[in-house]
Amino acid sequence: MTHDELLVRRAQRGDQKAVDSLLREHYDSVRAVCHRIVINSDDADDATQMALIAIVRALPSFDGRSKFSTWVYRIATNAALDEVRRIRRRATPHDDQIFQSVPVADGSAAVDAQLDVSAALGQIPEEFRVALVLRHIADLDYEEIAVILDVPVGTVRSRLSRGRTQLTQLLGNRAPTDSRQNLDTGGQP
Protein backbone atom coordinates (compact mmCIF):
# COMPACT_ATOMS: atom_id res chain seq x y z
CA MET A 1 0.00 0.00 0.00
CA THR A 2 1.37 3.41 -0.97
CA HIS A 3 1.85 6.36 1.33
CA ASP A 4 -1.07 8.18 -0.33
CA GLU A 5 -3.33 5.15 0.06
CA LEU A 6 -2.57 4.99 3.78
CA LEU A 7 -3.20 8.71 4.22
CA VAL A 8 -6.45 8.49 2.23
CA ARG A 9 -7.73 5.66 4.43
CA ARG A 10 -6.87 7.60 7.58
CA ALA A 11 -8.40 10.80 6.18
CA GLN A 12 -11.59 8.98 5.22
CA ARG A 13 -11.86 7.80 8.82
CA GLY A 14 -11.74 11.41 10.01
CA ASP A 15 -8.03 11.86 10.76
CA GLN A 16 -7.49 15.61 10.20
CA LYS A 17 -3.69 15.24 10.28
CA ALA A 18 -3.93 12.81 7.36
CA VAL A 19 -6.09 15.30 5.42
CA ASP A 20 -3.56 18.05 6.12
CA SER A 21 -0.68 15.81 5.00
CA LEU A 22 -2.45 14.92 1.75
CA LEU A 23 -3.13 18.57 0.98
CA ARG A 24 0.44 19.61 1.81
CA GLU A 25 1.94 16.83 -0.30
CA HIS A 26 -0.20 17.64 -3.35
CA TYR A 27 -0.41 21.43 -2.99
CA ASP A 28 2.49 22.23 -5.36
CA SER A 29 1.03 19.99 -8.08
CA VAL A 30 -2.45 21.49 -7.72
CA ARG A 31 -1.03 25.01 -7.76
CA ALA A 32 1.15 24.35 -10.82
CA VAL A 33 -1.78 22.96 -12.82
CA CYS A 34 -4.09 25.81 -11.82
CA HIS A 35 -1.50 28.51 -12.56
CA ARG A 36 -0.70 27.17 -16.03
CA ILE A 37 -4.34 26.69 -17.03
CA VAL A 38 -5.72 29.95 -15.58
CA ILE A 39 -2.59 32.07 -16.27
CA ASN A 40 -3.59 35.11 -14.14
CA SER A 41 -1.92 34.62 -10.75
CA ASP A 42 -4.74 35.92 -8.53
CA ASP A 43 -7.38 33.92 -10.38
CA ALA A 44 -5.13 30.85 -10.35
CA ASP A 45 -4.76 31.19 -6.58
CA ASP A 46 -8.56 31.22 -6.35
CA ALA A 47 -8.72 28.08 -8.49
CA THR A 48 -6.09 26.41 -6.31
CA GLN A 49 -8.07 27.18 -3.18
CA MET A 50 -11.28 25.90 -4.77
CA ALA A 51 -9.50 22.72 -5.84
CA LEU A 52 -8.21 22.07 -2.32
CA ILE A 53 -11.68 22.62 -0.88
CA ALA A 54 -13.15 20.25 -3.48
CA ILE A 55 -10.53 17.61 -2.63
CA VAL A 56 -11.44 17.75 1.06
CA ARG A 57 -15.18 17.63 0.35
CA ALA A 58 -14.87 14.75 -2.12
CA LEU A 59 -12.30 12.74 -0.14
CA PRO A 60 -14.93 10.52 1.53
CA SER A 61 -16.13 9.42 -1.92
CA PHE A 62 -12.66 8.64 -3.35
CA ASP A 63 -12.92 4.94 -4.22
CA GLY A 64 -9.34 4.17 -5.29
CA ARG A 65 -10.22 3.15 -8.86
CA SER A 66 -7.50 5.56 -10.03
CA LYS A 67 -4.32 6.74 -8.39
CA PHE A 68 -4.98 9.43 -5.81
CA SER A 69 -2.71 11.84 -7.70
CA THR A 70 -4.71 11.32 -10.91
CA TRP A 71 -7.91 12.05 -8.99
CA VAL A 72 -6.33 15.20 -7.52
CA TYR A 73 -5.23 16.38 -10.99
CA ARG A 74 -8.76 15.89 -12.28
CA ILE A 75 -10.17 18.03 -9.48
CA ALA A 76 -7.46 20.69 -10.01
CA THR A 77 -8.12 20.74 -13.74
CA ASN A 78 -11.86 21.11 -13.22
CA ALA A 79 -11.36 23.89 -10.66
CA ALA A 80 -9.05 25.73 -13.07
CA LEU A 81 -11.50 25.34 -15.96
CA ASP A 82 -14.34 26.58 -13.73
CA GLU A 83 -12.25 29.63 -12.89
CA VAL A 84 -11.54 30.26 -16.58
CA ARG A 85 -15.29 30.17 -17.24
CA ARG A 86 -15.91 32.63 -14.35
CA ILE A 87 -13.26 34.95 -15.76
CA ARG A 88 -14.96 34.93 -19.16
CA ARG A 89 -18.26 35.99 -17.57
CA ARG A 90 -16.68 39.03 -15.91
CA ALA A 91 -17.06 42.43 -17.49
CA THR A 92 -13.97 43.35 -19.50
CA PRO A 93 -12.40 46.65 -18.38
CA HIS A 94 -12.17 49.29 -21.08
CA ASP A 95 -9.89 51.68 -19.23
CA ASP A 96 -6.50 51.80 -21.00
CA GLN A 97 -4.77 52.88 -17.77
CA ILE A 98 -5.30 49.38 -16.36
CA PHE A 99 -2.99 48.02 -19.04
CA GLN A 100 -0.28 50.69 -18.84
CA SER A 101 1.55 49.37 -15.78
CA VAL A 102 2.66 45.89 -16.77
CA PRO A 103 5.26 44.52 -14.33
CA VAL A 104 8.74 44.13 -15.82
CA ALA A 105 10.86 41.06 -15.06
CA ASP A 106 14.24 41.45 -13.38
CA GLY A 107 16.02 40.68 -16.63
CA SER A 108 16.94 37.11 -15.89
CA ALA A 109 16.62 34.81 -18.91
CA ALA A 110 14.83 32.13 -16.89
CA VAL A 111 12.20 34.57 -15.65
CA ASP A 112 11.75 35.96 -19.16
CA ALA A 113 11.35 32.46 -20.56
CA GLN A 114 8.74 31.63 -17.87
CA LEU A 115 6.83 34.79 -18.72
CA ASP A 116 7.03 33.99 -22.44
CA VAL A 117 5.70 30.47 -21.91
CA SER A 118 2.91 31.69 -19.62
CA ALA A 119 1.88 34.36 -22.11
CA ALA A 120 1.97 31.86 -24.99
CA LEU A 121 -0.07 29.32 -23.02
CA GLY A 122 -2.64 32.02 -22.41
CA GLN A 123 -3.11 32.35 -26.18
CA ILE A 124 -3.61 28.64 -26.82
CA PRO A 125 -7.18 27.28 -26.78
CA GLU A 126 -8.19 25.84 -23.43
CA GLU A 127 -8.47 22.20 -24.57
CA PHE A 128 -4.88 22.22 -25.88
CA ARG A 129 -3.52 24.24 -22.93
CA VAL A 130 -5.01 21.81 -20.41
CA ALA A 131 -3.48 18.80 -22.19
CA LEU A 132 -0.07 20.53 -22.37
CA VAL A 133 -0.15 21.47 -18.69
CA LEU A 134 -1.12 17.97 -17.57
CA ARG A 135 1.60 16.41 -19.73
CA HIS A 136 4.49 18.82 -19.25
CA ILE A 137 3.79 20.48 -15.91
CA ALA A 138 2.07 17.63 -14.07
CA ASP A 139 4.21 15.03 -15.93
CA LEU A 140 1.25 12.69 -16.45
CA ASP A 141 1.21 9.99 -19.10
CA TYR A 142 -1.32 9.95 -21.93
CA GLU A 143 -3.60 7.42 -20.22
CA GLU A 144 -3.79 9.46 -17.01
CA ILE A 145 -4.61 12.59 -18.99
CA ALA A 146 -7.32 10.70 -20.85
CA VAL A 147 -8.88 9.66 -17.53
CA ILE A 148 -8.72 13.18 -16.12
CA LEU A 149 -10.23 14.77 -19.23
CA ASP A 150 -12.61 11.87 -19.89
CA VAL A 151 -11.50 11.60 -23.53
CA PRO A 152 -9.84 8.81 -25.56
CA VAL A 153 -6.03 8.57 -25.59
CA GLY A 154 -6.06 9.45 -29.29
CA THR A 155 -7.76 12.74 -28.45
CA VAL A 156 -5.06 13.46 -25.87
CA ARG A 157 -2.38 12.82 -28.52
CA SER A 158 -4.15 15.10 -30.97
CA ARG A 159 -4.59 17.91 -28.45
CA LEU A 160 -0.95 17.67 -27.40
CA SER A 161 0.25 17.72 -30.97
CA ARG A 162 -1.88 20.70 -31.91
CA GLY A 163 -1.02 22.50 -28.68
CA ARG A 164 2.72 21.94 -29.18
CA THR A 165 2.47 23.21 -32.74
CA GLN A 166 0.70 26.37 -31.60
CA LEU A 167 3.11 26.87 -28.70
CA THR A 168 6.09 26.48 -31.02
CA GLN A 169 4.60 28.99 -33.44
CA LEU A 170 3.98 31.48 -30.63
CA LEU A 171 7.41 31.07 -29.04
CA GLY A 172 9.38 30.54 -32.22
CA ASN A 173 12.25 28.15 -32.65
CA ARG A 174 14.79 29.82 -30.37
CA ALA A 175 17.12 26.96 -29.51
CA PRO A 176 19.61 25.37 -31.91
CA THR A 177 18.42 21.98 -33.18
CA ASP A 178 21.00 19.92 -31.27
CA SER A 179 20.23 21.51 -27.89
CA ARG A 180 16.43 21.43 -28.18
CA GLN A 181 14.81 19.15 -25.64
CA ASN A 182 12.20 16.67 -26.77
CA LEU A 183 8.85 18.08 -25.67
CA ASP A 184 7.62 14.63 -24.76
CA THR A 185 9.88 13.05 -22.16
CA GLY A 186 7.68 10.16 -21.18
CA GLY A 187 8.54 7.71 -23.91
CA GLN A 188 5.05 7.99 -25.32
CA PRO A 189 4.56 7.62 -29.09
pLDDT digits (tens, 9 = 90+) for 108-162: 555 566 667 778 888 889 899 999 999 988 888 999 999 999 999 999 999 999 9
Q: What is the pLDDT of residues 136-147, one digit of tens each?
A: 888 889 999 999
Mapping DSSP onto H, E and C, the string for 61-123 reads: HCCCCCCHHHHHHHHHHHHHHHHHHHHHHCCCCCCHHHHCCCCCCCCCHHHHHHHHHHHHHHH
Where in the chain are the domains? 1-89, 107-175
One-letter amino acid for residue 105 of the chain: A
CATH (residue range 1-89):
1.10.1740.10
pLDDT higher than threshold 70 for residue 38: yes
> Alpha-carbon distance 1 to 103, whole Å?
47
Count the neighbouring beta carbons within 10 Å of the beta carbon of residue 116: 15
The domain 107-175: what is its CATH number? Answer: 1.10.10.10
Cα gap 4→171, rounded to integer Å = 38
Q: 133-150: string of b/e by CB count within 10 Å (b at 16+)?
A: bbbbebebebebbbbbbe
pLDDT tens digits for range 39-75: 888 899 999 999 999 999 999 999 988 899 999 999 9
> Who has greater pLDDT, 56 or 171?
56
pTM of the complete model = 0.67
